[in-house]
Structure 1
Amino acid sequence: MGVAFLNTSTKTTAKRALMVRALDPHILLGMPHLNPFGLSETWLMKELGHRHWLMLAQQMDMDDADFRTSDGREAYAAICATSLKQARLELARANDVLVVHSSISQVSRTQHASIHHVSVGVGVIAVVEILSAFVARAKHGDNRSLTKMGMATGSATPLLPNSLAAAAALFRRGQLNVGSDISSEELTVVNVKKIRPSLQEEFNGAGLLYFANFQALATRAIYDALPPSKLMRRDVFFHGNINFGDTIELRVRASVDQGRYFVEFHRGDGSRLGLVATWFA
């Protein structure tokens, strides 16, 4: 495990000002933010992921989020897990003012967690937690060579326990029923599909399969077998990444009477890539 070198060289104060503007808590909602059911979950996760990275850069006194290893390679605040609770996304409408109050803290030597309280005039419509770890490619161009990078913070502040980080660690060790009292093996398989994610639509600017698209792919796989339902909660856990052109398998397990669905993501070689646990009303 290396130590991420954070580029704190002064470039321009204009970038810092733009980061502050990007973190403004108020957003006027329009068509890019919405779908026919209210606030777009995919847009929300992309926006909050962006805020998470900018808050990390601010916390580390950087002008932008250009994280680097000690030998100059790009480092990324890769998302390890997300949790969306108290979802009432259907209450958001065009021309509403969305308000996002966010905070971030370090929860381990390699991980940071941010909390985002999202509201409109009627009150809170989502509480989202995002857990990230700094990673870098050990081999150029190979997304499966991502390696965690430790953080040399020098801070004496004690790290607080974090339940999402604990659940993510269990998932990486092979458990599937993380964050739920129902084991995925006990549920009924209702759909299995293989896909090849699109480089243009589902990979991000770093060339990685974008974390915010996992829930979108999972929703599509669930709706292939079941009618749309009201989202209440969603937990997503990630285990590495894939290269462009790789095929992945999505296996949907359901407990329809309790409105719970697990979508397991596996690479072509059978190794685990992610898990999306969803609660519908």
Structure 2
Amino acid sequence: MNATVLDFHPLEPLARDLMERALEPHILLGMPHLTPFGLSETWLMKELGHRHWLMLARQLGMNNADFRTADGEEAYAAICATSLSNARFETVRANDILTIRSLLTPVSRTQVSTRHRLAVRGMTIGEVELISTFVCRMREGDNYSIARVAMPQLKETTPCEVNALATLASAVRSNKAAVCLGLSTDELKTRRSYRFEPDQTQEFNGAGLFYFAQFQAVADRASEKWFSRLQGLLALRERRVFFRGNVRAGETLSVDLVGVSDDHLRLHCVIRRSDGTVIGNVFTRYGS
């Protein structure tokens, strides 16, 4: 007797359902989430960026985060500014449960903010804000041609709030901000420099863009070279990153130290692409 075995595959969950699961507030921490000095900032920023995009898609009533322009072209909710405050990442260890409480608020027709409060063992270990703006490539495959676009789903009647981080970001980009984290925003004097060539399989995201979470990572690589004697002695307390452009695969980046406090606890770095254009400002404050 021959028997036919039918292979019934269970139905895959809907993307919409998985979006909700991905936004659950509790994460059990292990090796992927940690460094020798506590919670990984790079992992955290990737996770919060993912949550930011999913929250935005949910806000727009979408079934996934496949953003499109009015004419159907692929668009991206690109992070244009980040703020980290009250960081205590060095207190985090394996098997801790990280709780993330998040809130989304529109800033304009093209910008959205998400705020994330981080807690471990009932203790706040940081507060993060991400601001994104919708962009698309004006020339296919060219990361130099990234430009802002308005999304039709964000109605003009959507209530917006005055946002301090967005205001500061605009002022930094237009050279109208005097200070950030107690440091001058002036970019003219380079004190030290570090060169870095991003790897397309490591530092670029699925959209082919240099990933926003890598800006602070590259700045940290540079500061570790410049101030290696302080490695492991100081902990991250605050960071502000302002994004001003992107790079093409194969480019070499220059990280320039343009501002530093006398105690070396506050740094201002600018990241330039190969043609000298500034694509990011990174302000950092460390503490004991």
TM-score past 0.5 threshold: yes
Corresponding residue of 2:225 = 224
Distance (Å, rounded) in 1 between the aligned partners of 2:75 and 2:14: 23
Q: Secondary structure at the match of 1:69?
A: coil
Q: Is the 8 A contact 2:252 2:273 kept in 1?
A: yes
The unaligned stretches of length 5 or more in structure 2 are 1-11
Q: Is the 8 A contact 2:85 2:126 kept in 1?
A: yes
Residue of structure 2 aligned with 1:251, choices 251, 256, 269: 256
Q: Is the 8 A contact 1:84 1:127 kept in 2?
A: yes
Percent of counterpart pairs with the same letter? 49
Kindly report which structure 2 residues correspond to 1:156-235, keeping only aligned pairs within 5 A, or say none: 156-175=157-176, 177-185=178-186, 189-226=190-227, 227-228=230-231, 229-235=234-240
CA deviation vs aligned residue, 1:49-88 (integer Å, no higher than 9, x gap): 0000000000001110001122222100001000000100
Q: Is the 8 A contact 2:251 2:273 kept in 1?
A: yes
What letter is aligned with 2:60?
M
Distance (Å, rounded) in 1 between the aligned partners of 2:199 and 2:260: 26
Q: Is the 8 A contact 2:181 2:285 kept in 1?
A: no
Corresponding residue of 2:269 = 263
Distance (Å, rounded) in 2 between the aligned partners of 1:218 and 1:149: 29
Q: Secondary structure at the match of 2:254?
A: strand
Distance (Å, rounded) in 2 between the aligned partners of 1:165 and 1:274: 15
Distance (Å, rounded) in 2 between the aligned partners of 1:177 and 1:25: 37
Distance (Å, rounded) in 1 between the aligned partners of 2:90 and 2:108: 35
Instruction: Please report the TM-score for the alignment, with normalisation by the length of structure 2.
Output: 0.89
Q: Cα–Cα, structure 1 residues 143 and 259, in superposed 2: closer, same or farther, change >3 Å?
A: same
Distance (Å, rounded) in 2 between the aligned partners of 1:141 and 1:187: 32
Corresponding residue of 1:238 = 243
CA deviation vs aligned residue, 1:140-190 (integer Å, no higher than 9, x gap): 000111111113333634321101101111122135755333214499855
Q: Secondary structure at the match of 2:281?
A: strand
Kindly report which structure 2 residues correspond to 1:12-27, keeping only aligned pairs within 5 A, or say none: 14-27=14-27
Are residue 46 (structure 1) and residue 21 (structure 2) matched?
no
Corresponding residue of 2:4 = none
Q: Secondary structure at the match of 2:202?
A: helix
Which of the two has higher C-alpha Rg? Answer: 2
Q: Secondary structure at the match of 2:46?
A: helix
Give 1:136 shift.
0.5
The unaligned stretches of length 5 or more in structure 1 are 1-11
What letter is aligned with 1:243?
R
Corresponding residue of 2:5 = none
Q: Cα–Cα, structure 1 residues 91 and 70, in superposed 2: closer, same or farther, change >3 Å?
A: same
Distance (Å, rounded) in 2 between the aligned partners of 1:222 and 1:260: 11
CA deviation vs aligned residue, 1:2-56 (integer Å, no higher than 9, x gap): xxxxxxxxxx971110000000100000000011111000000000000000000
Q: Give me the CA root mean square deviation.
A: 1.9
Distance (Å, rounded) in 2 between the aligned partners of 1:222 and 1:251: 10
Give 1:120 shift.
0.4
Q: Cα–Cα, structure 1 residues 76 and 157, in superposed 2: closer, same or farther, change >3 Å?
A: closer
Q: Is the 8 A contact 2:86 2:125 kept in 1?
A: yes
Give 1:267 shift.
1.7
Q: Secondary structure at the match of 1:158?
A: coil
Give 1:122 shift.
4.2
Q: Secondary structure at the match of 1:57?
A: helix
Q: Secondary structure at the match of 1:90?
A: helix
Q: Secondary structure at the match of 1:199?
A: coil
Corresponding residue of 2:149 = 149
Q: Is the 8 A contact 2:194 2:256 kept in 1?
A: yes
Q: Is the 8 A contact 1:83 1:235 kept in 2?
A: yes
Q: Cα–Cα, structure 1 residues 103 and 142, in superposed 2: closer, same or farther, change >3 Å?
A: same
For structure 1, which segment, 67-76 or 112-121, has the greater mean C-alpha deviation from structure 2 after superposition?
67-76
What letter is aligned with 1:128?
V
Q: Cα–Cα, structure 1 residues 97 and 134, in superposed 2: closer, same or farther, change >3 Å?
A: same
Q: Is the 8 A contact 1:167 1:178 kept in 2?
A: no
What letter is aligned with 1:52?
H
